[in-house]
Amino acid sequence: MKTLKKLGIGILIVIAIPLIVALFVPKDFTYEKSIKINAPIDSVWIYTSSLSGLDKWSPWNDYDPAMKKVWTGVDGTVGAKQSWESDVENVGVGSQTIVSIQAPNLFETDLHFIKPFESKSNAYVKLVDDNGVTDATWGFSGSMPYPFNLMNLFLDMEKDMGKDWDNGLAKLKKLAEE
């Protein structure tokens, strides 16, 4: 009986500790990368002000050039949406909807990933003119509900996404500088 009681207490402690730790872990997360582009802001804005513009430098097209894409609404306007479907795990299934356009400095979308895991986040591209050179920042932010926010302690977004984001920004730079 004592052994069973000790086992029960041990199991409760193993369950309670992560739940308590999760109370103190931030729920929100942000990831962004920047690049300097030797082109005027208007030349960069062409590739960041619409879903089709973003698609030209999307690193995920390299993973699955044959992914199925569906476009709805008027591209380059709030409410326009791109949905995609791929059997490639790095691409998955999801959609992106334009929520804000502040020419030529900010383009924001809502991202909804369905596969390989369900999540929602906000994505953006910010452009700043620096005497004819454009500082481009690509990022996203989101939130993980309790107790899943505990995973924020173990996520290494640079390791998981850095290569793809560097690839995408390099493509954007090349397109805008041509």
Domains detected in the chain = 2-177 (3.30.530.20)
pTM, 2 dp: 0.85
pLDDT of residue 3: 86
Q: What is the mean predicted confidence (pLDDT) over 118-136? A: 96
pLDDT of residue 93: 97
Alpha-carbon distances of 32 from 16, 56, 131, 178, rounded to whole Å: 33, 19, 23, 24
Place 22 in a pLDDT band, splitting at 50, 70 and 90. Answer: low
DSSP E strands, 20-171: 28-37, 68-72, 81-85, 93-102, 106-115, 119-130, 133-143
Average confidence score pLDDT of the chain: 91
Q: What is the mean predicted confidence (pLDDT) over 106-125? A: 94
pLDDT at 17 over 90: no
pLDDT of residue 94: 97
Give tens-digit pLDDT for 159-175.
877 899 999 999 999 99
Q: What is the mean predicted confidence (pLDDT) over 33-58? A: 97
Query: Do residues 29 and 142 lie in contact, with contact meaning Cβ atoms separated by under 8 Å?
Result: yes
Q: What is the mean predicted confidence (pLDDT) over 152-165? A: 80
pLDDT of residue 151: 78
